[in-house]
Each structure stands twice: as C-alpha cells, then as structure tokens.
Amino acid sequence: MLTIYPSLFRSIKPADYRRERIVTPDNDFLDLDFSERGNKSIVVILHGLEGNSTRKYVFGMVHIFNGAGFDTVSMNFRGCSGEPNRNLRFYHSGETDDLRAVITYLVSLKKYTAIHLVGFSLGGNVTLKYLGEQGADAVGVIKSAVAISVPCDLKSGSAELEKRHNIIYMQRFIRDLGHKLRLKEQQFPGSISLDHYGEVKSFRQFDDRYTAPMHGFKDALTYWEQCSSRFYLHNIRIPVLVINAQDDPFLGKECYPYEIAADSQYVYLETPHQGGHVGFVRFGKDFYWSEKRALAFLQEV
C-alpha cells in the first residue's frame, strides 16, 4: 500500500525546472533539471529504476529543499529524460561515472559552497557506491548524502523481486526496460537482439542477457557483485544516512547493513517499521516522512 499510494494518489505541483544538457567524456549527454533559488548549497537528486526528474518523489524533495534554502538539480540517467542517449549503453545500478561528471560540472560552476546527494532506490545505490569509490576524495566536495529504499545488495534485491508478491512490479520493470531496448535495437542494428524477449521474467535473466554484456560485465552475478553498494560502504568518509523500511517489498535481508553501519562513524542506518519502497507516506501532510528526515539530516551535518 505505502509503495503504490504516492504514484497513484499523491497530489504535488511540478517543480519549476531549468534544463541543462552536459556532454559526458564518452560523447554522450546527461539532462539536468535545476530548480534554483540563488542559494550557495545544492542537492543532487537521483531517481530510481526507469524513473526521471518528474517523479512525484523527486518533486517532493525539490520542494522541501528549495523551501529550506537549497538549490536542487535532478539528474536524469541516460535515456530517462525523454530522449534516447547516443551510445549503446545507457545506465545501471552501479554506473557512477555519470554522477562523477555531474559533480565535476557543479564544482566547475564555482557557485556552490556545499553539495549534497539524495538518491532513491537504484539512485541510492549509485550514490553510495560513488561515495565509497571516492572515499576521502569526497571530503570537502560533498558534505552529506541520504539514500532511500536502497537495494544495496543487488543479488538479494533481485531475488526478492522474483517472489510472487512482486510479480506486478517485476512485469512492469521488464516491460519498460524492453521499450528502451527496442529503441537501442533501432539505433544500433545488429548490436542487440530482442528475439524471445517475452521469455525474460526476472532481473537475473534480464541482467544476464542485456545489462551485463552491454556494460562490460561477464554475467548478472558479476554485475551484482561489482555494483552492490554494500561492498563500498566501509570506505565512505562523509556523513551518509541510509533509510530502508522494514516492510519494503523489494529488499532482501542483505539490504539492511546493520553491522556495517554499527562499525562506521559515517554511515547511519535507519529502518522504520513502515514505509514501503520509496513510500513513507504522511497522510494529510504536504511532505512525506522521508523528505522531512532527509532535510533534517542535511541540516544536522
């Protein structure tokens, strides 16, 4: 209920975006949607799988941070901004080069004295993996981060999504990703094949057949092992809050890194009993619990 309610019933006004396109080092592009109030601090918001900057959960974060004295920039992953990206590859759960390009661009503007990150689901995994890869190099550049509903163990999360109670979500993800692959098939004839795509029923099958070979991994298991942010958390050196609800239908038990957080002076893990996946609804309130908590954490640090 808490997972599906916001997308169906939440009423929220769109963000007042200014779109800017930046070119990536491999001659592709990223579309960034800025919501600016002339502040010195900016929050980079990363959406989830097959989302974009117009998702209601993104708008919620934009509005609460704009109102509290932050500019925001909502990053659209490759191929998610309404136009297919140029290259065969697009994005995946461990793709951090594009986030690095966005951070580098923001630093080059010399407008902001503080950069913060907020990532949802897949975007949360990208956020945590990036910060783990950067380690001490992120100190001074990025002040803090919040990651919400994070499948930080991709193998565990994929197995959870294969269960019967998630069949509707799984079917939708496979369908939407198939649409994206059709466009890639037209862009790059002969490079990928969608023959028998109807047989793909799980992320293991999808990642084995498409994600892994398109992005340089041997197979799905290798991709999951190399891209799960759980294995990078120990190297994070800035304050990070991970929020994973205990009733999240997409997360297996390995997605709750209690021991790692307990041993880290930088990683804080909160696991509320309720919240669903990117839900955290507060009925009758303008802002959801996750939005209020993210703002409070950034203000605290």
- In the residue annotation, 108 being an active-site residue is answered as no
Given 35, 207, 277, 290, which residue is catalytic? Answer: 277
- In the residue annotation, 248 being an active-site residue is answered as yes
Given 81, 121, 156, 158, which residue is catalytic? Answer: 121
- In the residue annotation, 156 being an active-site residue is answered as no
Given 31, 98, 153, 248, which residue is catalytic? Answer: 248
**SS3 labels along the chain:** CCCCHHHHHCCCCCCCCEEEEEECCCCCEEEEEEECCCCCEEEEEECCCCCCCCCHHHHHHHHHHHHCCCEEEEECCCCCCCCCCCCCCCCCCCCCHHHHHHHHHHHHHCCCCEEEEEEECHHHHHHHHHHHHHHHHHCCCEEEEEEECCCCCHHHHHHHHCCHHHHHHHHHHHHHHHHHHHHHHHHCCCCCCCCCHHHCCCHHHHHHHHHHHHCCCCCHHHHHHHHCHHHCHHHCCCCEEEECCCCCCCCCHHHCCHHHHHHCCCEEEECCCCCCCCCCCCCCCCCCHHHHHHHHHHHHC
Q: Which residues are tagged catalytic?
A: 121, 248, 277
